[in-house]
Amino acid sequence: MTDLTDLYKQVILDHNKNPRNFGRMKKADKVIEGFNPLCGDKITLYVCLKKNTLSKISFIGTGCAISIASSSLMTEKVLGMKIDESILFFNKIHKMLTSNDPINDDLGKLNSLAGVREYPTRIKCASLAWHALNQTLTSKDKVISTE
Amino acid sequence: MTDLTDLYKQVILDHNKNPRNFGRMKKADKVIEGFNPLCGDKITLYVCLKKNTLSKISFIGTGCAISIASSSLMTEKVLGMKIDESILFFNKIHKMLTSNDPINDDLGKLNSLAGVREYPTRIKCASLAWHALNQTLTSKDKVISTE
Amino acid sequence: MNSSSQTRKDFPILERNINNKPLVYLDNAASTQRPLSVINAVSNYEMNYHSNVHRGVHKLSELSTNAFESSRNKIKNYINAESEREIIFTRGATESINIVASSFGQSFKSGDEIMVSQMEHHSNIVPWQNICKKNNLKLIMIPISKDGEIILDEFAKLLNSNTKLVAITHVSNALGTINPIKKMIHQAHEKGAVVIIDGAQAMSHMKIDVTELDCDFYAMSGHKMFAPTGIGALYGKEKLLDGMPPYQFGGEMILSVNFKETIYNELPYKFEAGTPNISGVIGLGAAIDYLNNLNFDDIKKYELNLLNYLSEKLLQISGLKIIGKPKNRSGVISFMFDNIHAHDIGTIVDKEGVAIRTGHHCAQPIMDFYEVSATARASIAHYNTKNDIDVLIEALNKVKEIFS
Amino acid sequence: MNSSSQTRKDFPILERNINNKPLVYLDNAASTQRPLSVINAVSNYEMNYHSNVHRGVHKLSELSTNAFESSRNKIKNYINAESEREIIFTRGATESINIVASSFGQSFKSGDEIMVSQMEHHSNIVPWQNICKKNNLKLIMIPISKDGEIILDEFAKLLNSNTKLVAITHVSNALGTINPIKKMIHQAHEKGAVVIIDGAQAMSHMKIDVTELDCDFYAMSGHKMFAPTGIGALYGKEKLLDGMPPYQFGGEMILSVNFKETIYNELPYKFEAGTPNISGVIGLGAAIDYLNNLNFDDIKKYELNLLNYLSEKLLQISGLKIIGKPKNRSGVISFMFDNIHAHDIGTIVDKEGVAIRTGHHCAQPIMDFYEVSATARASIAHYNTKNDIDVLIEALNKVKEIFS
Ligand SMILES: Cc1ncc(COP(=O)(O)O)c(C=O)c1O
Ligand SMILES: Cc1ncc(COP(=O)(O)O)c(C=O)c1O
């Protein structure tokens, strides 16, 4: 049994209270909605793409601390990343959240989401924004539009 | 636990093998269908009424020994009875089949149906013909037509 | 007042631990727990007399059929219906309402109106939405006040000769409001409308008398009244049920079948196609036995006392806000806590062994009304105690600590 | 061959007496009995981790949701479906078929044809009759031979470009015929028709592989495969299910609701409105575990042997006639006995502790075909023994005595 502070790490609480890149974007290339029907979490992602790179990203939404912090951390992390790179990174995050393997150290601040593993009902909260972004970036017609 | 011969009395087996008043009637005043969906028993009663009296009665149908014998015994019994009388008699039969009170002796051959009490799933078989007849004789529009 | 220590012994699950803390189960509106008598009735059936019902002449079938039909009789008596023909076994309140919408709903014509309150559970909204879309009917919303009560004046004004059906919940699962259904039924009847009551949240907290209420349909969920999941019932007035087409088709609900024509069986079987949930029905019968042994006058007092205690304690926590303030409340209190999302509250109190529900409670229109996306909800049964509430309150203080 | 003494111990009810005689349960086609593991899985759920599923963040809800969804996964693997999204929990085979008729059926247009065999159970006839009447479709009967087999030539001739759906039972509950469904599915697909298989009678006797069969829908009843009553499943190909409108409306099956618009949830939840039969689903999962431990190669041989023994012994009784003579038979033998009505046979053998079914077996069209109003039916499971059959045969001799 882990302690609650493993889930609600300082980083998470901080990003929940002061989410980075929070706000609507007027001229986004992509507007992506993510919805978790089980808890009502709802986020909207705004993304600008330039030369296969996530050149701008922001989000708005309501949700629990985990989903807001995870969205905030994600925008911080993927801003400026190549699309391919961000997809690879999604896979790492996904693995961290859902597998039982020991966790790599190379995820930086995002390691703070690892505590979610112990709370299966919360995994969806942590992965909501990631799934939304990844789905857009990997879906066929989107790949076309970004080439 | 009673013995099977309490259910399949000689009288029952006899009336099953050689049902009395068995046959279609051409000019009946009433043709009544009785159907037991649970076992597929189906009988058709033919009745002629004269001056409030069951002047003629016959039946056809397929069914188990209990329902055929009961129909046969019924036709024998009510033939020539006044309508009121037959309704009263139905009530006695009904009570015999469904209550736990000691059985009166005045039902004659029909006492042979008493064994059915111990076989709840078979009570409907024994009472099928009786219910069909009684329903017709007591239903409102029928009362009018027989006055 | 502490009769409940005996009561709690009837419910084996209440003795378990969660995260090394004793379970504090305050999620009864989602599903109540079962007394041992219900659990045993079901396993006894499985171990000793399981068989399909109605069509067998052998002993096991006789035993299971008797138990099955005696459950129907128990419900009939318990809710004071006129006849067993008025009791249809269903999967739960949702299916009960769907049967009425889909079968009775076929009689509605373009322009007819169906009225649904703003505080309904999705299962008492979406079936009506669907039939309205299909048959071009109007779906009218009965508004509620900020306190979370139906605005009766508005209801009376909205009623008119086009109103064909009114669908209201007896008790709100999101707010706990007990609606004045007797009065509303009377008013609706005066306009010739039929009324269906969603009784899912009522049955474990009060005695129901459908004859006194004079409702046309009453929907019940077994698992919210100490019976197993997968079983519920629909009460309907015989003359209405009689005129309705069947809902599902198959065995049990027919008298005879050939390729040209099928003749349907009589009530209640017309609405019970296929092998029914026999063990569920037997469990529901045992739950009715359990309910029959309760004294609802005492329980009402006991539960009201608990709710008042809960609400008092909640309001002592700064930043905590209770949603709705109905004069008559049963079972449920929903609340918000500063900017802390309900989901986080739920996880943190769970660590302390406390089970509450968080989210929209399948009542999104009411969330929209209060402009919230989720609430935390504590819901009680007669087996809850002041201690349960004290543990919840302490856990909520932990929430505050973490998020401060 | 007498491995079954261990097998029988798994089924507590088989130890009971009926009318002071050991129970001989030969009514398995109506409903099988449950192994202790299934009974215990259900009570363990009730005692230790009952809670509503899917919407809770607390521990109990997590436990019950996991168990619930792991049952879905077990079924998916057991029948070799592609995805859990293709497994819909229902009340039983009847509801499974009704969902397809009512939802998928909405795509049919006047003049379209639905084909149903003469040996179907009412639950695979009446839903189609109803949709045919409603939408002005043609219901075409696939004829059978005197032996009780589908006449494949006739089937092939009847198939045409208007054929939209073919509904056939995998195994007949009245005759025991195993239909050549793989071939029929292939032929129907060539004409562009969709095929639904009624698998109610198959699942306890053989391993099913929906991918290999390539059927579009497959209907299952839990209580006929060692699981509790009130639970079943519908397998459907994802692309078909995806295009179908929901069946019932309420909680679980929606993503969001307001009074203007409702967005439905994804598969499989779109078809699972309301609180599901959680204990039933968990029982069904335990039954799949039980099935997974069986060796169906052995069981098929064992059961075939029993059936042959039964048929041999029956035919030694003068005046006794077996209905149907299919080359591939499973589970069931129906018979007639002189002029003795099946009902009387049922009562008399019951006195000897033997449970058989008597009547039309919810398959009146086949009764009409053989021009009988009722048959007696003995149906076996892998836990039956030669001794069971000997007791039945002796009891049938008593019948003869009484009616001689
Ligand atoms: C008020 C209300 N109505 C209907 C329902 C639906 O009941 P069930 O899910 O048992 O069908 C619920 C429970 O979720 C409820 O609280
Ligand atoms: C061949 C067949 N199909 C369908 C059914 C219906 O199954 P259920 O009553 O479990 O819905 C049965 C069982 O009676 C059956 O034998």
ipTM value:
0.94
Mutation choice for ligand 1 from C95, C121, C360, CB with most ligand atoms inside 8 A: C121
Chains A and B touch, contact meaning at least 3 pairs of CB atoms under 8 angstroms apart? no
**Average pLDDT value over all residues in chain D:** 96
Q: How confident is the model at residue A140 (pLDDT cuts 50, 70, 90)?
A: low
- DSSP class of residue C178? B
Q: What is the mean pLDDT of residues D38-43?
A: 98
Share of chain C above pLDDT 90, in %: 92
Check residue D19 and give its pLDDT: 92
Q: If we measure between CA atoms, which residue out of C183, C181, C176, C232 comes closest to residue C205?
A: C176
Say which of D127, D129, D230 has its CB closest to residue C230.
D230
| Right CATH for A2-145 from 3.20.20.10, 2.60.120.920, 3.40.50.300, 3.90.1010.10 | 3.90.1010.10
Q: Is the previous residue joined to C365 through a cis bond, with omega within 30 degrees of 0?
A: no
Evaluate if residue B146 carries a pLDDT over 80: no
**Tens digits of per-residue pLDDT, C224-233?**
999 999 999 9
- Distance (Å) from the alpha carbon of C45 to chain B's nearest alpha carbon: 19
Question: In the CATH scheme, what is the homologous superfamily, with its name and number, of domain D4-30+295-403?
Answer: Aspartate Aminotransferase, domain 1 (3.90.1150.10)
B64, B71, B118, B123: best to mutate for the D interface, most D CBs within 10 A: B64
Helices (H) and strands (E) in chain A, counts: 6, 3
Ligand nearest to the CA of residue D379, numbered in listed order: 2
D57 touches chain A (CB under 8 A): yes
Evaluate if residue D85 carries a pLDDT over 80: yes
Element (H, E) at B145: helix B140-145
- Distance (Å) from the alpha carbon of B37 to chain C's nearest alpha carbon: 6
Residue type, A130: W
Neighbouring chains of A at 3+ CB pairs within 8 Å? Answer: C, D
Q: How confident is the model at residue A1 (pLDDT cuts 50, 70, 90)?
A: very low
- CA–CA distances in Å: residue D158 to residues C36, D122, D190: 56, 21, 13
Q: How confident is the model at residue B4 (pLDDT cuts 50, 70, 90)?
A: confident
Residues contacting C301, CB < 8 A, separation 6+: none
B8 touches chain C (CB under 8 A): no
- Residue predicted with more confidence, C315 or A109: C315
Evaluate if residue C3 carries a pLDDT over 90: no
Mutation choice for ligand 2 from C275, C278, C279, CB with most ligand atoms inside 8 A: C275
Q: In which residue are the tokens 């029914």 written?
A: C276
Answer yes or no: C215 catalytic.
no
Q: Is the dihedral of CA D266, D270, D271, D273 positive or negative?
A: positive
Residues contacting B98, CB < 8 A, separation 6+: B117, B123
d(CA B93, CA B107): 8
**Tens digits of per-residue pLDDT, C290-308?**
999 999 999 999 999 999 9
Evaluate if residue D392 carries a pLDDT over 50: yes
C229 Cα nearest atom in ligand 1: 10
Query: Does any ligand 1 atom lie closer than 6 A to the CB of residue C121?
Result: yes
**Tens digits of per-residue pLDDT, A102-135?**
876 678 888 899 899 888 888 989 999 999 999 8
Check residue A144 and give its pLDDT: 29
Determine which one of C139, C141, C240, C362 is catalytic. Answer: C362
**Tens digits of per-residue pLDDT, C331-379?**
999 999 999 999 999 999 999 999 999 998 999 999 999 999 899 999 9
pTM > 0.80: yes
Half-sphere exposure of C16 (CA within 13 A, CB side): 18
Burial of D356 (0-12, 13-18, 19+ CB in 10 A): buried
Evaluate if residue D305 carries a pLDDT over 80: yes
Region D39-292: CATH code: 3.40.640.10
Lowest pLDDT segment from B125-129, C73-77, C83-87 = B125-129
**Average pLDDT value over all residues in chain C:** 96
Residue type, D379: S
Q: If we measure between CA atoms, which residue out of C381, C378, C376 comes closest to residue C346?
A: C376
Ligand nearest to the CA of residue C199, numbered in listed order: 1
Give C-chain residues touching D23 at CB under 8 angstroms: 60
Lowest pLDDT segment from B139-143, C21-25, C156-160, D291-295 = B139-143
d(CA C364, CA C337): 19
Token pair belonging to A72: 């905030």
Evaluate if residue B11 carries a pLDDT over 80: yes
Share of chain D above pLDDT 90, in %: 92
Evaluate if residue B81 carries a pLDDT over 80: yes
- CA–CA distances in Å: residue D18 to residues C58, D35, D351, D353: 9, 19, 8, 5
Q: Is the previous residue joined to D246 through a cis bond, with omega within 30 degrees of 0?
A: no
Element (H, E) at D81: none
Check residue A138 and give its pLDDT: 84
Residue ranges of E strands in C209-366? 217-221, 232-236, 254-257, 262-264, 320-323, 332-337, 354-355, 357-359
Q: How confident is the model at residue A41 (pLDDT cuts 50, 70, 90)?
A: confident
Element (H, E) at D293: none
Q: How confident is the model at residue B2 (pLDDT cuts 50, 70, 90)?
A: low
Check residue B1 and give its pLDDT: 44
- C24-25 and C354-355: which strand pairing? parallel
Evaluate if residue C72 carries a pLDDT over 90: yes
d(CA A77, CA A108): 9
Longest pairwise C-alpha distance within chain B: 47
Evaluate if residue C215 carries a pLDDT over 50: yes
Check residue A143 and give its pLDDT: 34
Q: If we measure between CA atoms, which residue out of C159, C163, C204 comes closest to residue C183?
A: C159
The alpha-carbon radius of gyration of chain B (Å, integer) is 15
Check residue C154 and give its pLDDT: 98
| Residues facing C178 on adjacent strands | C171
Check residue B105 and give its pLDDT: 62
A23 touches chain D (CB under 8 A): no
Evaluate if residue B135 carries a pLDDT over 50: yes
d(CA C356, CA D163): 52
- Residue C153: count of CB within 10 angstroms of its CB: 9
- Distance (Å) from the alpha carbon of D185 to chain C's nearest alpha carbon: 23
Residue-range domain boundaries for chain B: 2-145
Token pair belonging to B115: 């064994």
Q: What is the mean pLDDT of residues C20-41?
A: 98
Burial of D404 (0-12, 13-18, 19+ CB in 10 A): exposed
Q: In which residue are the tokens 């929070």 written?
A: A22
Q: How confident is the model at residue B144 (pLDDT cuts 50, 70, 90)?
A: very low
Q: What is the mean pLDDT of residues D244-249?
A: 96
Residue-range domain boundaries for chain D: 4-30+295-403, 39-292
- D217-221 and C232-236: which strand pairing? unpaired
Q: What are the residue ranges of helices labelled H in D124-277?
A: 126-135, 152-158, 181-190, 210-213, 238-243
Evaluate if residue B59 carries a pLDDT over 80: yes
Contact D115, D170 (CB under 8 A): no
Lowest pLDDT segment from B129-133, D88-92, D236-240 = B129-133
- Residue predicted with more confidence, C263 or D144: D144
Q: What is the mean pLDDT of residues B15-44?
A: 89
Q: If we measure between CA atoms, which residue out of C281, C242, C276, C245 comes closest to residue C76?
A: C281
